[in-house]
Structure 1
């Protein structure tokens, strides 16, 4: 067995010393032998290999030797990880906020009329579907700036949000022209909804959920008053749309109190497009189910059942909270004593427990929806649609976990395969709900496998 020595080996021809030089970046940064054990396993070293090459009894024994041979040298602090760090109540409030536009966007459809695929309806679709991706990228860049300075983050969010809204308007106008529709109504509706999304993204990134919720009250009160006293209030849907967009936009434009000049920070432009693509892929999977562009279901497809997505949207806040608790649990498991195998199994159990709690809660909510929908006159909803929503929720939670593990590319591949599976089933003549169920099942199953593989690397647990 190799004799343990102090200090880094630099000239020795001993195989273990050579290995320490090859893995020097990992060795000097390690704070626990388990980290090096994970690195060795990732390099393909097994117990048999380390016995033959390095004279150690196991991978863990080899990792312990490396840990004691190479002294720890703390590197520069890592950049702040983009993402919300808000209190628990703010996470739960986000689910309500995500659903608020559904209460006033029908008035946007009434601005120009013409149905779902015409006029303001087309503008709403463009703003929502493309905005999902645009604002994912904007939020990522905003969180990256928030780690440096709050005022800088707000300026960046305002500029990027306005730019994303402008691009959405241009895209909507071009699409309207191609479809032979009047570009102005489509562009106006797209601009209004996109501006709201930009303002909401700014406020959410800055942790101002309560302000965004209060900003929605004037529009909601106006809607309630118009419903209670038809024709008594001026403006009609235009007034509702103005209130719904202008108030959040003004709040997002107000500079923070600490708006002193701040240092500049680099913009991770290249990292933003994958986040945008993630949003677009998720939006595409839902749109194929609810909009039914292939006309697989008579009488307008499943658009009348689009309200069924409400429990899923409401649960997104709880999902974010569960992810926070999950990461805290994984860090806790990584600090407990035990073998590498036991730590990995405990981490996998933590993922299964938190993910199962969220999925079961969402399934219970949809079970209640299926039970109550016929009783309130909403009509029965396809079981495949409701099951697809549950699987989509589980897939979104696992996606969030893997994205925090820096595995966004793999997540994109999974959602791309899910969309391809959904399209394939649709082209074979299945209805939109069944195709949605199969596509979401593909996503959930693949993400479960990726999550199980990810927790095997203990570096993800710290």
Structure 2
């Protein structure tokens, strides 16, 4: 029932908000109400002349207080910041620590099997680890940390099982050495277990536990003795086992040191409640892994320069994650400083441009390192330069993808990634004549640009939806 004034007529503000009750009821702050009012065509002039308020924001505050049935709650001046500069920037380097063991492992397994095995396990680990982390973050946000830990443990065990089956099949079908199975299992176990340590913000643990293996791997390069290589690989396996053990303990530990944590719903019930969002997240992880790995996998044996050229993206993944958190922190801060949705949108686009520029420059600088190495060894080629440029573009696109994923737009990301795959490798058969490596990587660069531009448009539109940045 609409409240009435003393003269028996409904108050003008109540008449205004009554048709919009369903939309306004979901608002959690006045700025969202202001966005809804502006979408209905209200401006400052109407707010002054019809409702007696100085502007739309003042009117929104009053409307919000009426809908909420209470005064507008105070907004903290300093929102919690989620960006952790050093820890997040180092994530890419931490993921790449086992690379120090590759020379020693290559001497035992053979270069012809090392790189295909790494491509296989990286793809599986990427998909399984990303899917498990996505579910775990969702469950943690719902106050179910023990269930999140169980999902992470399941992801680790299932990923290792899948790699054992695939590596064994490869060894039997192609005559690969048994050592390849051990290599694949070790690499996959590290990939997922290290992700679990980063999930629980244990970056220092990961660095300390892998330090002996990294130092041994660097030392082997100077010795190049087969027996030393065997000892180095064994030490690496021991360090990875320590990482896996630490990851398992973290998933089993009681949250926040509680002796008796509160009961949680059965995991099956929780997964069923979140089932709608799981397939898109899994599909996006699968398409992302396919897009990057298929571009490099064909060159891991005969064109090592092209495989090395993309290393800058691996080193820069932590920076992309950090910049995504910085954007979210700055966006939430801006929400407390602006008065109109249009102001937030304008400021958000500036933040987006700043983040994109930082990521482009940083990835370009990191990509210059492998190119300098190739130049020093006489292996630099036009194709490797283009491959490095493509990884810079794709990496910056994934910065924007992080932002869209944080806004829940995973289905949009799936569509954008599918379009990029339609260009590369989808359009590869359309290349004239026998496709050269240069033509192929140029097509990959075009696919990266298409992906990047699509995500930029989606993100620019997303900035208008101000309630997602509260």
TM-score, normalised on structure 1? 0.80
1:58-97: per-residue Cα shift (whole Å, max 9, x none)? 98798567435423569xxxxxxxxx95732211221210
> Shift in Å at residue 326 of structure 1?
1.0
Contact residue 316 and residue 363 of structure 2 kept, 8 A: yes
Mark the CA change 1:391 to 1:173 in structure 2 (over 3 Å): closer, same or farther. Answer: same
1:426 and 2:424 are equivalent in the alignment: no
**Alignment partner of 1:95 out of 70, 92, 100:** 92
Mark the CA change 1:73 to 1:136 in structure 2 (over 3 Å): closer, same or farther. Answer: farther
- Runs of 5+ unmatched residues, structure 1: 75-83, 294-298
Contact residue 203 and residue 209 of structure 1 kept, 8 A: yes
> Shift in Å at residue 40 of structure 1?
5.5
**Greater percentage in helix:** 2
Which residue pairs with 2:75 in the alignment? none
> Shift in Å at residue 327 of structure 1?
1.0
In structure 1, distance between residues paired with 2:309 and 2:260: 47
> Shift in Å at residue 105 of structure 1?
3.9
> Shift in Å at residue 186 of structure 1?
5.2
Contact residue 282 and residue 415 of structure 1 kept, 8 A: yes
Mark the CA change 1:360 to 1:5 in structure 2 (over 3 Å): closer, same or farther. Answer: farther
Secondary structure in 2 matching 1:284: helix
Which residue pairs with 1:282 in the alignment? 288
Give the stretch that moved more between structures: 249-258 or 445-454: 249-258
1:67 and 2:75 are equivalent in the alignment: no
Which residue pairs with 1:35 in the alignment? 32
Which residue pairs with 2:234 in the alignment? 239
Higher RCO structure (Cα 8 Å, ≥6 apart): 2
Contact residue 426 and residue 435 of structure 1 kept, 8 A: yes
Which residue pairs with 1:353 in the alignment? 354
Give the stretch that moved more between structures: 401-410 or 429-438: 429-438
> Shift in Å at residue 457 of structure 1?
1.1
1:262-297: per-residue Cα shift (whole Å, max 9, x none)? 33354446234433322222222222321237xxxx
In structure 2, distance between residues paired with 1:434 and 1:94: 29
1:313-371: per-residue Cα shift (whole Å, max 9, x none)? 11121222211211111112222233332221111111111221221222233356545
Which residue pairs with 1:113 in the alignment? 110
Contact residue 31 and residue 72 of structure 1 kept, 8 A: no
In structure 1, distance between residues paired with 2:69 and 2:394: 43
In structure 2, distance between residues paired with 1:439 and 1:345: 29
Give the stretch that moved more between structures: 93-102 or 164-173: 164-173
In structure 2, distance between residues paired with 1:203 and 1:123: 24
> Shift in Å at residue 259 of structure 1?
7.2
> Shift in Å at residue 413 of structure 1?
1.0
> Shift in Å at residue 211 of structure 1?
0.9
Compute the RMSD of aligned alpha carbons.
3.9
> Shift in Å at residue 415 of structure 1?
0.9
Which residue pairs with 2:153 in the alignment? 158
In structure 1, distance between residues paired with 2:28 and 2:442: 48
1:123-157: per-residue Cα shift (whole Å, max 9, x none)? 33221112111100111233344453666544442
Give the stretch that moved more between structures: 327-336 or 157-166: 157-166
> Shift in Å at residue 261 of structure 1?
4.5
Contact residue 127 and residue 168 of structure 1 kept, 8 A: yes
Mark the CA change 1:421 to 1:46 in structure 2 (over 3 Å): closer, same or farther. Answer: farther
> Shift in Å at residue 440 of structure 1?
0.5
1:413 and 2:427 are equivalent in the alignment: no
Secondary structure in 1 matching 2:228: coil
1:435 and 2:435 are equivalent in the alignment: no
Which residue pairs with 2:23 in the alignment? 23
Structure 2 matches for 1:181-196, cutoff 5 A? Answer: 181=175, 187-196=181-190
TM-score, normalised on structure 2? 0.79
**Alignment partner of 2:398 out of 396, 399, 404:** 396
Mark the CA change 1:71 to 1:220 in structure 2 (over 3 Å): closer, same or farther. Answer: closer
